[in-house]
Amino acid sequence: MNAFVAALTAVAVGTCFPSDQLDSLVTSGSASAALLTVDTSDGSRSDAAGAAQPSGYFRIGSVTKTFVATVVLQLVDEGKVELDAPLDRYLPGLVPNGQNITVRQVLNHRSGIYDYAHDAGFSTNRWRGTERFRHFEPEELLSVAFGHQPYFGPDEGWHYSNTNYIIAGLLIERLTGRSYGTEITNRILKPLRLADTSLPGDRPGLPRPHARGYTEVDGRLVDATMMNPSLDWAAGEMISTAQDVNTFFEALLGGRLLTAESLTQMRDYRAATPLFDYGPGLQRFHLPCGQTIEGHSGQLIGYTTYSLHNTTKQATLSYNPLPNTDPATTLISLFSHLYC
C-alpha cells in the first residue's frame, strides 16, 4: 500500500476507505496489483496495492459499453434514432432478423444474438499467443456471431453478448458518418476533459504508469499486457484511469450527458443474473446488505474493472487477477465496506 500517497490524499472519505480489502487482493494471491479511487462530495482518495500506482492506466474492458450506450442515447436525444425501432431501419440487412430486433434489445443484451467471444480464438479474456497482435474488423466479428443460431428470440431472455456492442458501434458510425471512437471523443472525453482515457485501436500497449497483466500458459505465468484490442472494439477496447472513469459516471448519472428521459431509459433495468440487473449500458448490482449500486464491470486478460456508484459516492477499482484464484469474497467485502 502506498502509505505516503494515502496520507496526502486522505479526506473524510478515509473513514470508509477499504484499505485492508484492497491490500487483501494482493496479499491473498488473487491479484498482482490493485488500485482504487473513491470520490465523494467531501473529496477524493486514491490508493494502490502491489505493483499498481493510484494514478495508473488500465484496460477498462466492458466499461467501454457504457460509453457506447451513452453516445447512442445522445443520438436518441437528437432524434436520429429510436430505441424501440428495428435495427433494419438504420443498418438494413446487416443483422439476421434485424427487422425484429430493436436498438434497445441490442443495448440491454436481450437481442438473443450469439456472442462471438465464445468462439475459440475470439476472446480477449483468453491467451491467444501471437494471434493477440492481429487486427480484426468489426464485420469479421459479426460473421463469427451470425454463423451461430441465436440464444433465443428477441426479448425472450437475457444473455450477455459482446456482439451487441459491435452492432452498436456500427450503428453510431452509420448515423453520424464518423468513427464510433471519434464520437466518444467529441461527445464525452473532450467535454469532460478525460485526457487520460483513450481508444487504442491497434496499439498493443498502455500509457505509463500501468501494472502488468498476467495469465497462465502451460502451467507457467506469462505477461499478457500487450495485445491488439481491436478484437473487442466497441465492446471493450478502451483504456483509462480510475479518476477519469469516476468523472464519467458522475457526469452520466448526474444528468450532464443525457436528457432526463434518456437517463431514465438507461436505468430501465431488467433481471439478468442473481448479482445484477441490466439496462441499456448499465448494471445495477445488489449488495448483501440490501443496497444497490450502479455502474459497469469489465474484464480483459490480465485486467478486471468494477466502476460502481450511488448518489453520494463514486468508486472505481482495477486489479490484475492471477490465475486460478477467486477474489469474490474480498470484492464483496470491499464494496460492502464502501456502500453498506
pLDDT, position 9: 34
Report the C-alpha gap between 34 and 54 in whole angstroms: 9
pLDDT of residue 18: 86
- Confirm if 168 and 107 have CB atoms less than 8 A apart: yes
pLDDT tens readout for residues 140-173: 999 999 999 999 999 999 999 999 999 999 999 9
Q: What cell numbers appear for 143 in the block? A: 460473421
Nearest to 263 by CA among 294, 297, 307: 294
- Catalytic residue positions, numbered: 62
pLDDT of residue 2 exceeding 50 = no
Q: Could you give the C-alpha distances from 10 to 5, 43, 152, 180, 316, in angstroms and in order?
A: 8, 8, 50, 38, 16
Q: What residue segments make up the domains of the chain, in order of their start? A: 3-339
CATH of domain 3-339: 3.40.710.10
Mean pLDDT of 279-285: 97
pLDDT in tens, 214-261: 999 999 999 999 999 999 999 999 999 999 999 999 999 999 999 999
Q: Is 267 left (phi over 0), alpha (psi -120 to 50) or beta?
A: alpha
User: Which amino acid is located at 11 in the chain?
Assistant: V
Quick one: which H or E segment has residue 294? strand 292-300
